[in-house]
Amino acid sequence: MKRMLVAVLAVCCLLALAACAEKKTDGKNQIPNPIHECTAQELTEKADVTLYVPTTAVDVTYSYIEGDAPLGQVSFTYQGKAYTCRGQKTRVVQDISGMCYEWTRTTNDSADVPYTCYLTDEGQGIAVWYAAGTSYTISMAEGATEELLGEMYGIVTGSGE
C-alpha cells in the first residue's frame, strides 16, 4: 500500500513539474506590442495628430501606441540633443510624456508662453501644452533646459526654424 502511495505521489510530482515547464508558443498566446513604427503620414492617420520635426533633425522615427485614443510619437536628434514629441487627443491638457520624475515646475506667467516646462535637477525635462483638443509634450531625457524646450516648442508648432 505504501509503495502504491509513493508511486501515485511521484506521478503527481512529475505532472506538476511538467505543468510548470516552459512552454513554447506559436505566437498566438502572446500579448501584442501596442507600439507600432510608422511613417509620418501613417502616424497622422492612426493617431489623428500631426507631429512636426526640425528640417535638419536626424535619426527621426515615428510610431504610435494603440489605445482608446492612440498616441502619436516622433523621436529625433537636433543639434546633438535627443527629443521625443508626443500628441494625443484628450479633453483637457495632460502630461503624456511617459516620463515619471519628481518635477520642479518652471512657471510661465506670460500669456505669450502657451506651454509649461517641468524640469529635474538631473537634466530631464518636458514642455506640455494643449491645442485643438490635443495634448502635446516635448521631452528630453538629458540636458533639458527651459530655453531648449521653448525653442523646440517654437519649431514643432511652426512658430520657429
Per-residue pLDDT tens over the stretch 55-95: 999 999 999 998 889 999 999 999 999 999 999 999 999 99
- CA-to-CA distance for 109 and 81, rounded, in angstroms? 27
Partnered with residue 6 across adjacent β-strands are none
- Are the C-beta atoms of 128 and 95 separated by less than 8 Å? yes
Each residue's pLDDT tens digit, 114-146:
899 999 999 999 999 999 999 999 999 999 999
- CA-to-CA distance for 127 and 54, rounded, in angstroms? 16
- CA-to-CA distance for 50 and 72, rounded, in angstroms? 8
| Domain layout of the chain by residue ranges | 35-156
**CATH for 35-156 (2.60.40, 2.160.20, 3.90.550, 3.30.200):** 3.30.200
pTM for this prediction: 0.76
Q: Give the pLDDT score at 9.
A: 53
Q: Are strands 71-78 and 81-89 parallel, antiparallel or unpaired?
A: antiparallel
Mean pLDDT of the chain: 84
Cell numbers standing for residue 21: 515547464
- CA-to-CA distance for 18 and 130, rounded, in angstroms? 54
Each residue's pLDDT tens digit, 31-61:
667 889 999 999 999 999 999 999 999 999 9
